[in-house]
Amino acid sequence: MKRFLQSKSRIGVIIIMLEVLVFIPILISSFFLSSCSHSVEVQTIHDTIPGPAFLRFLAMLNNSKTSGIVHLRLYSPQNQDLFTDVNPEMNKQFVPVNHDSALVLYANYFFGTGTQKFDSLTVPARKPYTMTTIVLFRSNDPGDPNRIFPIFADDSVRKLIAPKDSCYVRLINGLPDYPQPSPTVNMHIDDINAPPLFKDITTGQSSPVNFQEIRNYVLMPAGQHTIFVRSETDISQEYHSTLLFVKGQFYTIRLSGSKGEGSDQLSIDAE
C-alpha cells in the first residue's frame, strides 16, 4: 500500500509539471499578442529574463492649424484597430511589444489646414526590457516635407532613482526656424544668463541642442524653477516657463511650433 501511495504521488507531480510546461508558454504568448496595444506605466525594470521591449511615442508635427495627434495602426493603414494614439504631450505610458523583431507601424495624421496623410515607420528590434521614446517629427526633405521622421531616444535612465532632492529633465528641440540659419538652443535655470545646462563633457563649453534632437535626461535640483530656453548666439528671443519640480520625477521640456507662424512655445511635461 505504501509503494502504491508513493507511485500515485509521483504521478501527481508529473501531471502538475506537464500542466505548467503546456500552459505557461500559452499564457506568455497570449500576453504579447493581446496586450501589445495596451499601455502600461513602467517604473522599474529588471533585466533578468527575456521579455518585451517598451515603447512610447510623442508627436511633434507642429500642426498648429489642425490636430497634432498621430494614429498608429498595425498590419495596414485601413486596420480599424488602433495600436496607439500619439499625442503632442509626453507621458509615462509605455506600450509593450515583442523585442526580437522589427515592428512596422502605419501612421494617419493631418498637416497644413487639414490635409490627411498616410505614412509608415519601422521600429527596429529592441533588446528585452529596453525603454525607448520615439518622437515623430515632420521630414525636412524639400521634396516631401510632410512625411513622418522618427527620432529614437534611450529611456534607460528611467530605471534609476534620482538622488535625494533631485529630479531628471530633458529637452526636445522641435522649433525649426529659430535661430536662423541654425536652429540650436540651450537651457538655463532660474536666470537667462546662468550657465547653460547642457555642456560638452570634455571642454565644459555649451553644447546646444539641435533642431529635431532629444537631449537626454540630466539631473536638476528639485523645487520651484524657471526654465529659460534660448539661442546661444541670438539672445533677442527667449522662452521660459515656471514649475514646481518634484524630487524623483522625470520631466520632458519641449520647444515646438513655428516662430514664423507665431505658434512657437515652451512646454513642460511631468512624466
| Extended strands (E) in 144-222 | 148-154, 166-173, 184-189, 209-210, 213-221
The backbone torsions φ and ψ at residue 77, rounded to the nearest 5 degrees and listed phi first, read -60, -20
Average pLDDT, the chain: 85
Is the bond leading into 25 cis (omega within 30 degrees of zero)?
A: no
Q: What pTM value is reported for the model?
A: 0.81
**Identity at 139, one-letter amino acid code:** S
What is the per-residue pLDDT for 29? 40
Residue where the block lists cell 525594470: 45
How many CB atoms are located within 10 Å of the residue 87 CB?
Answer: 15
Given a cut of 60, is residue 15 above it in pLDDT? no
Q: Quickly state the pLDDT bin for 13 (edges 50, 70, 90).
A: very low
Region of poorest pLDDT, from 16-20, 90-94, 133-137, 244-248: 16-20
* Least confident stretch, 42-56, 61-75, 182-196, 229-243: 42-56
Quick one: fold of 161-270?
Answer: Immunoglobulin-like (2.60.40)
Q: What is the pLDDT of residue 3?
A: 43
pLDDT in tens, 183-226: 999 999 999 999 999 999 999 999 999 999 999 999 999 999 99
Task: Give the DSSP per-residue string, 223-261.
Answer: EEEEEEEE-SS-TT-EEEEEEEEPTT-EEEEEEES-TTT
Domain span(s) for CATH 2.60.40 in the chain: 161-270
Q: In this predicted model, which residue has the larger pLDDT, 56 or 13?
A: 56
The span from the CA of 195 to the CA of 262, in Å, is: 28
